[in-house]
Amino acid sequence: MKPSEAVRLLRIKRPAPPYGAYSLARCYSIEDVARVARRRLPLGARAYLDTGGAGEYTLHRNRSALDLIEFLPHQPREVTSIDTTTTILGQRAPLPIVLSPVGAPRLFHHEGERAVARAACHAGIPYGVSTLATVPVEEIAANSKSPLWFQLYVWGDRRDAQRAVERARDAGFSALLLSVDTNVRATREREQHTGLDLPTPELAITTFLEGVLHPTWTWHFLTSEQISFPNIGPPDHRSREKIKGMFDGTVTWKDLEWIRKLWHGPILLKGVLRPDEAIRAAEEGLDGVVVSNHGGRQLDHVPATIDVLPDIVDAAGGRLEVLVDSGFRRGSDIAAALALGAKAVLVGRAHLYGLAAAGEAGVRHCIDILASELRTTMALCGTPTLSDLDRDILRLRPE
Ligand SMILES: Cc1cc2nc3c(=O)[nH]c(=O)nc-3n(C[C@H](O)[C@H](O)[C@H](O)COP(=O)(O)O)c2cc1C
């Protein structure tokens, strides 16, 4: 073989880098992107991203329950055109996907929420922004024309929380997610093992070594603005203190009274795992619930969300929209949730891996992977539109 021919073959074999990011060129699944992300991140950020609560039983259960899903496809059926469009909270969306709210995304990539907002805008899907965002809500809004939802942690004497809601409202956010599974913060042993809260000499050495081993991350960390939480108060050391006291166990249904006075758009409860809470949410006039166990990061030993979803959908009875998250990594997982009655699926780590791997390009690539897998699943199931996805295409596992 002539050398020029070998070069040509090599060129043919090399896939085009998605959106110019070579690190993504051979990433065909979210797990592929996760591998790149884990290589790029230092130990502490890796632990924060992947950890579950306590013994991580729910973290694993989320995945094992989804892995056990079985489809019973309708064949043969014409599937020459696949339509993934839907409406979420009354707004048209090209995909039944929402990007989950996440605290401190700038720990994964220096652009943080700016990059995620641009990717969500490009895909035309909603983006949930955490109370613990690391970019001001006004700046995030300037980066996206897609719907933005504000996720609220309620804490303390409520005045700071009220100010945060007002700022999100004035910046044009369209929906409010009230997180109810975080009244106190769970223990997360993987994070604790990194010792990040303890200023010991061993930690200084580990941190230094980790910095050297992950030079790109370290460079951006040291040369971009310091990580802070600008939506809960002034960007100074006090915001860190505030976070420590944030999960103070004081959130109750009564909080809906003041929230409703400030917020006239849709309100969803995030972190619902019981049918009776979905019923109460409907009675309180809320617009939706997110069936979530916080990605397995809060109370351990709660069920996988896909296992409780059907009962919650039945209890809601069409009075409110039921969304779901926790453990979703593939388009086929999303198809299964929709078949069980979810309106849309929120994805947390499945966009964060992209953010950590390659910023905006990485998030866009992850959304594309999920969208393409969803389309393939729908075609192979013989269900060309989202409304064709129903419980009939799933086989319930024998008890
Ligand atoms: C690193 C990280 C930080 C998170 N921070 C928040 C947060 O600030 N507020 C919140 O309501 N949920 C938070 N979550 C939970 C997500 O919104 C979502 O429920 C969860 O990630 C879904 O599971 P998945 O990561 O398996 O998709 C966080 C999740 C992760 C992975």
Ligand 1 neighbour 106 (Cβ under 6 A):
no
Distance CA 120, CA 109 (A): 16
Question: Ligand 1: which of 31, 64, 97, 100 to mutate, most ligand atoms within 8 Å of CB?
Answer: 100
Task: Say how many Å lie between the CA of residue 182 and the centre of ligand 1.
Answer: 11
Atom of ligand 1 nearest to the CA of 328: 27
- The whole-number pLDDT of residue 193 equals 83
Ligand 1 neighbour 347 (Cβ under 6 A):
yes
Beta-carbon-side half-sphere exposure of residue 239 (alpha carbons within 13 Å) = 18
- The whole-number pLDDT of residue 196 equals 61
- Tens digit of pLDDT for each residue in 276-305? 999 999 999 999 999 999 999 999 999 999
Residue 347 · residue 99 · CB < 8 Å: yes
- The whole-number pLDDT of residue 269 equals 98
- The whole-number pLDDT of residue 36 equals 97
- The whole-number pLDDT of residue 366 equals 98
Task: Say how many Å lie between the CA of residue 203 and the centre of ligand 1.
Answer: 26
Q: List the structure tokens of 223.
A: 């040369």
Ligand 1 neighbour 101 (Cβ under 6 A):
yes
- The whole-number pLDDT of residue 192 equals 85
Ligand 1 neighbour 100 (Cβ under 6 A):
yes
> Annotated active-site positions, please?
294
Ligand 1 neighbour 52 (Cβ under 6 A):
no
- The whole-number pLDDT of residue 175 equals 98
Atom of ligand 1 nearest to the CA of 181: 11
| pTM flag (> 0.85) | yes
Kindly list the structural domains of the chain, giving each domain's residue range(s) and its CATH number in brackets, ordered by start: 28-68+87-190+228-380 (3.20.20.70)
Query: pLDDT under 70 in the chain at which residues?
Result: 1, 3-4, 6-15, 196-205, 234-240, 397-399
- Tens digit of pLDDT for each residue in 219-275? 998 999 988 999 997 655 566 677 777 888 889 999 999 999 999 999 999 999 999
- The whole-number pLDDT of residue 28 equals 97
